Amino acid sequence: MNKIKSINTRHLTISYIVKILVFLLLGFMVVAQVFPLLWLFSYSISRSMDVFGPEIIKFPSEPQWVNYSRAFFDGRIPLYLSNTLRVVIPSVFLGTILPFCLAYACTRMEWRLKKFVWFVVIIGMTIPIHTTLLPNFFWYGLFGLIDTHLALIISYMAFTMSFNAVVFSGFLMGIPKSMEESAFIDGAGYFTILRKIIAPITTNGFITVGIMTFLNHWNDFLMAYTYLMTETKRTLPFSIILFEARYGADFAVQFAVMFLVALPPLILYFVFNKWMLSGITAGAVKG
């Protein structure tokens, strides 16, 4: 009995230590994620002369909210924001719907070249963006797409198609085929099945893929810098570069520009965080 008690006590002690270590690790990860945002915000409401103080992070007694006003107008945030939305909204919509249809065709339907097409989809995930910039620039030039938002939309869709299709496949493979068979017996076609049966079941998948696609497109700078030449057509990340070039010594306002650019994705993530996490978990388990 004493040995059993000692073994149980030892197991409880080990379990307690493991829990403490896990909580410490999670706490460290939270601090590592939140600290840069607090640091960025604190410096964005400071005076530029106070940025080089000895404190790592500080909140001034007199916040300089005028920094955000200058960042918003001098950084041309409205112009770049409208350009970004013109690119991001259609690319996210098409970059979500098309991979969903592709994943459905490759996981739920039977046709001759299905395995080959899915192999091409998987290979598409291994192609680096940098290797396609010059060839795409050449082809876009031939078709007159350089310095147009359509060039960005096409590029964004192409590079998210494979990954999003694989994510959707994890959701679709977990749906019983009997549901589709019953719908076929009742006379429903593929479009009706996708719209009224499959799509509602994979709502979390749409939210997950949509948010991830939005974040990738919102933060892109490389392709936008390559394909867009006119300043009035450029996207939101250029506001940081533009402001840094024109107001290099006004560091506090530069921090305000950075915070404004990072704020919309943060809000979107916090709003849909619940559905996104459940979607990632469901897709991983079903896949």
Residues 29 and 83 in one domain: no
Residues 166 and 255 in one domain: yes
Residues 7 and 135 in one domain: no
Is residue 55, in this structure, part of any structural domain at all? no
Any residues with CB less than 8 A from the CB of 121 and at least 6 apart, and which?
Answer: 102, 106, 161, 162, 165, 166
Cα 55 to chain center, whole Å?
Answer: 33
Residues 218 and 277 in one domain: yes
Q: How far apart are CA 72 and CA 254, in angstroms?
A: 11
Is residue 70, in this structure, part of any structural domain at all? yes
CATH at residue 164:
1.10.3720.10
Q: How far apart are CA 219 and CA 146, in angstroms?
A: 20
Quote the pLDDT of residue 287: 43
Q: How far apart are CA 228 and CA 234, in angstroms?
A: 6
**pTM value > 0.85:** no
Q: How far apart are CA 157 and CA 98, in angstroms?
A: 9
Residues 120 and 24 in one domain: no
Is residue 57, in this structure, part of any structural domain at all? no
pLDDT in tens, the chain (287 residues): 555 555 556 666 777 788 888 888 888 887 887 888 888 888 888 887 777 767 777 777 788 888 888 888 877 888 888 999 999 999 999 999 999 999 999 888 888 888 899 999 999 888 888 888 889 999 999 999 999 999 999 999 988 999 999 989 888 887 888 877 788 887 877 888 888 888 888 888 888 888 889 988 998 888 988 899 888 888 888 877 777 767 667 788 888 888 888 888 888 878 877 666 665 555 444 44
Q: Which residue range forms the structural domain that includes residue 34? A: 2-44
Residues 22 and 92 in one domain: no
Cα 258 to chain center, whole Å?
Answer: 17
Residues 206 and 81 in one domain: yes
Residues 72 and 115 in one domain: yes
Residues 38 and 151 in one domain: no
Tell whether the torsion through CA atoms of 115, 116, 121 and 124 is positive or negative: positive
DSSP state of 196: I
Quote the pLDDT of residue 284: 46
Is residue 54, in this structure, part of any structural domain at all? no
Note whether 166 and 121 are within 8 A (CB): yes
Q: How far apart are CA 60 and CA 90, in angstroms?
A: 41
Residues 74 and 210 in one domain: yes
Q: How far apart are CA 1 and CA 4, in angstroms?
A: 5
Reduce the secondary structure of 20-49 to three states and give it as a string. HHHHHHHHHHHHHHHHHHHHHHHHHCCCHH
Q: What 3-state class would DSSP assign to 179? A: helix
Residue 284, both tokens:
């991983």
Is residue 235, in this structure, part of any structural domain at all? yes
Is residue 58, in this structure, part of any structural domain at all? no
Domain count, the chain: 2
Residues 33 and 148 in one domain: no
Quote the pLDDT of residue 285: 45
Is residue 49, in this structure, part of any structural domain at all? no
Is residue 52, in this structure, part of any structural domain at all? no
3-state percent helix, strand, coil for the chain, nearest multiple of 5 = 80, 0, 20
Residues 100 and 29 in one domain: no
Q: What 3-state class would DSSP assign to 64? A: coil
